[in-house]
């Protein structure tokens, strides 16, 4: 993403939860995960490093618990605040999408 764009409102993301957002691009767009912990929001590509599947168990619904998000396909666990792999069949973490909060909105950075 080269230009900053509004992704959603902070309140659209449940505290200690996650939502999916589609980002348009010149190559057809891609899906990102936005996760929130209090006033902090974290963005990642919605693509598991294990087999490249999306992490949602149904579109836009994620398993987030105790500071980690779980890939619905085979159970890989990643830290919400860093994307670091905690457990599971892959060896790397999620790919971060830089975001920033301005007022009540979340923007791509």
Binding site for ligand FES (CB under 6 A): 48, 50-51, 53, 71, 73-76, 88-89
Considering the complex, state which of residue 18 and residue 71 has its C-beta at the smaller distance from ligand FES. Answer: 71
Rounded to the nearest whole angstrom, what is the least distance from the CB of residue 41 to ligand FES in the complex? 22
Look up residue 61 and give its DSSP letter: B
What residues have CB less than 8 Å from 58, skipping those under 6 apart?
A: none
Nearest approach in angstroms of CB 43 to ligand FES is: 18
Question: Minimum distance between the CB of residue 33 and ligand FES, rounded to whole angstroms?
Answer: 13
């Amino acid at each position: 993403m080269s230009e900053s764009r509004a992704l959603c409102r902070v309140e659209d993301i449940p505290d200690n939860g996650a939502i999916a957002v589609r980002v348009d691009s010149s190559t057809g767009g891609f899906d990102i995960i936005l996760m929130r912990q209090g006033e902090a929001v974290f963005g990642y590509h919605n693509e598991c490093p294990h087999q490249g599947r999306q992490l949602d168990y149904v579109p836009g619904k994620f398993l987030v618990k105790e500071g980690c998000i779980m890939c619905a396909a085979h159970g890989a666990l990643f830290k919400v605040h860093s994307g670091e792999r905690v457990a599971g069949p892959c060896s790397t973490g999620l790919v971060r999408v830089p975001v920033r909060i301005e007022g009540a909105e979340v923007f791509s950075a």
